[in-house]
Structure 1
Amino acid sequence: MTKRRIATHEDCLKSFAHALKQDVKENLVVWRSLNHEQAIGRRMAFANIVFLLKQEASKHGIPLADLGLEDYEVPKIDE
């Protein structure tokens, strides 16, 4: 794999992590208009995606800080 191809993969992961965080932020507004069980289900789905992304990044030696995920958690839904 060429150095450029590796850089492209890293850019893709960074872009994905950024888009995922933005999507979660935008969905918070929608979650507040759903019934509580639906909102919890959606939050859990996003939390699972973030967990898997962090796990795979760690497995491949990609620092979470590089992806902007070092201390990121899907926000809790207002009770």
Structure 2
Amino acid sequence: MKEIEISKVIHLAEGNKYEKSCATFDLVDHIYKVDMPKSLRGRKPAVQAMTLLAEGIIKYGYEDSSEKSSSEEE
């Protein structure tokens, strides 16, 4: 079994810990909807989520009011 790269975990823990924690938990809940690289498919969902966030494959952030209204219209 491959180990998680410690540099990825450190990168996630650098700042905005609350936001990153929320994004990770939300991603774990919806991980089945994500197109995943083959190298991650056999890993645990938490490891998949942390890796996807650390590598920038999945983006997270806040929506401003204009983005929110445009996404609701669609």
- The answer to whether the superposition gives a TM-score over 0.5 is no
TM-score (norm 1): 0.24
TM-score (norm 2): 0.26
Richer in helix (by share)? 1
